[in-house]
Structure 1
Amino acid sequence: MSQQKNRIEEIDYLRGFAILAVIAIHTSGNFTKISNINLLLIINVIIDVFSHFAVPLFIFISGFVLSLNYNIPLSKKLFYKKRAKSILPQYIIFSALYIVLNVVLSAINDGLTLPSITEIIFYLLTASSSYHLWYIALITQFYILYPYITKKYNEFADNNRTFYFISIILIIQQIWIIAKATTETYLNSIAYFNSIVYFNAIIHILLTRVFLSHVLYFVLGIYICQNYKSVKAKILKTKYWAILIVLIITLILSILWVKGIIEYGNYEKVPKEYFIVLDLIGSLYFPFIFLMLLVISYSFSNKKSKYSNLILLLGKYSFGIYLIHVFYIQIMVEIIYPCFSIDYNQWIFYPLLFGSTVLLSYLNVQQIARLPYSEIIIGINSDIRK
């Protein structure tokens, strides 16, 4: 196994954009609680629609970085050992943190509720201690499958059939999106399945964590890494087209989301099959956002500013911020906001929640990174702290 030591700065900028988008999703997503169709809801729908590139971009980055650092043939044993060390301790620590946090919040708001041993095991096995930890289950699958995916990719690439392989992967992802939504709709419509305790919840958890929903982005990461110089040159020539396409699709998807909310009364009543087409479009939409952000990242690398340095720092601490940011969101929304009578119907709710979450998460992770063995807690390597 050959491991390169070069660090591509643009990737850290992409991580910075991705983590900001994650926090934007978990902030703007509160629009689902707004009962009336108003400007506040529409703005947050647009932010939410656009920001959903976050996890796909993280998966894209993972494919890129793994392809950069690990060549075929590789020692699977050593590879899996390193990947496990980079994600499992952090996952266990933060799963425990969120279990404890939920117990504390239940005591404050509704009366103390302690999870059973069975529930705790269920949370750990399904990445369900907090709503954002599903990403850990997703990325773990890609770590496990990377040696096999990259081997198959190289077989096609060696025969000049790379785009054929990417096309197959796109079709597989689209089929999975349709199958997932169809399965969930069918199961929800059958009284027998609804009568089985936790059945639908477990099926939903399993379906939302299967790697096929994001496999295209992972393969695109491998492709961009393997063809970085030529792709970079092409991207810089077509940057305005990428930006225009992103703006147009964002507008179209936002209109369709608002239309669904109007048609069915509120977001929670919109049936899952309504979003199938939107998700299928997303498979093509997100790569254009990647291209747009790559152009911005190239610009930041060539011309430093206080804004670019901020994105760079957020990118370098992004994994730790991802793990901890929901802690601050829950504290703000469930404890601090009620003290000041702030709720999701007020304009101040959203920018205040976003800004405070970014700031507190970053400062917290920065301090943790100074501790011995911080890699075990937040996955920050020593070279990042230098």
Structure 2
Amino acid sequence: MKRHLNELQVYSGIAILFVTLIHSNAYYLQSIIHMQSYAYVGIFINLFDKIVHIAVPMFIFVAGYKYEMNKKEENFKELFKKKYKRVIQPFLIIGIFFLLLGWGSNIIKGMFHQTNIDIIYYGKNFIISFGKLLIGYSYAFQLWYVPMYILIVLSYPTIRKYLKNTNVRFIFFVFLMMTWIGIESLNSSFIKKYPYPIKFIYYFYLYELGSLFYSKKLNLKKGLVPILVYPIILVCISMIKNVTLSQLLTDALLTPASVITFYYVSIRLKNNNLLLLLGKYSYPIFLFHEPIFLAKTGFAIKKLGLYKSWFIVPFVASLSIVFSIYFYKILVKTKFGKFMFNISANKKTIEQKCNY
């Protein structure tokens, strides 16, 4: 029987809150103050970005934790079928929706600029765009996470089968992490433009870290040391102006420290109703908040001339969360919504599936 812990749901709640804040903060940076890097906009915004930018590592950590906690022997076919129903199918539907939206828009634009529409060209473009969707490139850019998650979840049992020693396996994943950091530090224009799927190798060690936290009973410790040390690491790295050095130290030091710290924070907040609610609806919020609601909300506030300061950022994020939850609740009452999220006729919700 699958086990459930409040602190894991709270942890997912914190992570999805951070996801919306990342995108809201990015909208403020690019569309309101027209900057390209957090390193040059002041310590406060840079500090804030460092805090919230660990959302994806948190989700991978909790996935590894759940794997170890609920570990059971599953063959690849069974594992893929389960992940397809819970994660891949909703991802494909929302991804293809935006793909068709962009594809149709290009055809309409083409009709106004040329007399003959090259159907073969647009067909090839659609196929290429679909292939790119599967490796992390989508108009709904947050969807890059799902191919990475699926790669790790489906390949981890096989890697574990051949690398049975925990220490050896963790060292191997740390090597993959350092490999990505090395590639990223080269500042290649190609890698900056096309980081996926090579970037996915960075996250394996976080999945293993989550597994180790449960298997080594680190979840039973109070975690006061990480909570006390984390702010020091955070402030020190946030004050570094060199973008390359800051990113290197963030990937190698701040990210694992943040993931561990917020796990212990979630234990202390495990009965927080708001975070439990966010964790419960984390996947629908993830799918729908950007670009359906968050970007449109930010644009509307900007259009009204109300986007005057950074303090609008949490407001925009909050609205996108509320809209996403209610959109999901309306959607799953329809046949299409039930199909999208694999809800059978005798199930009213899929809350047990939201925390993938």
Question: TM-score with structure 2 length normalisation?
Answer: 0.80
Q: Distance in 1 between matches of 2:202 and 2:245?
A: 12
Matched, 1:25 2:25: no
Q: 2:132 aligns with which of 126, 135, 138?
A: 126
Q: Is the 8 A contact 1:126 1:205 kept in 2?
A: no
How far apart are 1:375 and its partner, in Å?
A: 6.0
Matched, 1:226 2:195: no
Gaps of at least 5 residues in structure 2 are none
Secondary structure at 2:239 match in 1:
helix
Equivalent residue for 1:243?
A: 227
- Matched residue type, 1:279: L
Q: 2:265 aligns with which of 296, 304, 310?
A: 296
How far apart are 1:216 and its partner, in Å?
A: 0.8
Q: 1:139 aligns with which of 146, 149, 156?
A: 149
Q: 2:256 aligns with which of 271, 280, 287?
A: 287
Deviates more, 1:350-359 or 1:203-212: 203-212
Equivalent residue for 2:91?
A: 91
Matched, 1:278 2:247: yes
How far apart are 1:385 and its partner, in Å?
A: 6.8
Deviation per residue, 1:272-327 (Å, 9 max, x gap): xx4255234433322322332222222233xx3xxx11101110110111010101
Gaps of at least 5 residues in structure 1 are 157-161, 189-199, 261-273
- Matched residue type, 1:313: L
Equivalent residue for 1:325?
A: 289
Q: Is the 8 A contact 1:166 1:219 kept in 2?
A: yes
**Whose RCO is larger (CA < 8 A, sep 6+)?**
2
How far apart are 1:104 and its partner, in Å?
A: 9.6
Distance change (3 Å), C-alpha of 1:71 and 1:60? same
How far apart are 1:138 and its partner, in Å?
A: 0.7
Q: Distance in 2 between matches of 1:148 and 1:385?
A: 26
Deviates more, 1:127-136 or 1:29-38: 29-38
Q: Distance in 2 between matches of 1:38 and 1:142?
A: 31
Q: 2:200 aligns with which of 208, 211, 215?
A: 211
Distance change (3 Å), C-alpha of 1:210 and 1:278? closer
Equivalent residue for 1:51?
A: 52
Distance change (3 Å), C-alpha of 1:288 and 1:139? same
How far apart are 1:56 and its partner, in Å?
A: 0.6
Equivalent residue for 1:195?
A: none
Q: Distance in 1 between matches of 2:205 and 2:112?
A: 43
Distance change (3 Å), C-alpha of 1:286 and 1:341? same
Q: Distance in 2 between matches of 1:325 and 1:209?
A: 26
How far apart are 1:348 and its partner, in Å?
A: 4.7
Equivalent residue for 2:158?
A: 148
Aligned length: 331
Q: Is the 8 A contact 1:321 1:361 kept in 2?
A: yes
Q: Distance in 1 between matches of 2:210 and 2:176?
A: 17
Distance change (3 Å), C-alpha of 1:38 and 1:11? closer
Equivalent residue for 2:181?
A: 177
Equivalent residue for 1:75?
A: 75
Equivalent residue for 1:384?
A: 351
Question: TM-score with structure 1 length normalisation?
Answer: 0.74
More helix by share: 1
Equivalent residue for 2:170?
A: 166
- Matched residue type, 2:214: C
Q: Distance in 2 between matches of 1:280 and 1:148?
A: 31
How far apart are 1:242 and its partner, in Å?
A: 0.9
- Matched residue type, 2:278: L
How far apart are 1:81 and its partner, in Å?
A: 1.6
Q: Is the 8 A contact 2:57 2:259 kept in 1?
A: no
Q: 2:327 aligns with which of 364, 379, 384?
A: 364
Equivalent residue for 1:313?
A: 277
How far apart are 1:94 and its partner, in Å?
A: 0.9
Q: Distance in 2 between matches of 1:181 and 1:79?
A: 35
The percentage of counterpart residues that share the same residue type is: 21
Distance change (3 Å), C-alpha of 1:12 and 1:219? same
Q: Is the 8 A contact 1:49 1:254 kept in 2?
A: yes
Q: Distance in 2 between matches of 1:174 and 1:38?
A: 23
Matched, 1:341 2:305: yes
Moved segments of 4+, more than 4 Å: 35-41, 100-107, 111-115, 369-376, 378-383
Secondary structure at 1:365 match in 2:
helix
Deviates more, 1:278-287 or 1:357-366: 278-287
- Matched residue type, 1:8: L
Distance change (3 Å), C-alpha of 1:209 and 1:78? same
Q: Is the 8 A contact 2:69 2:214 kept in 1?
A: yes
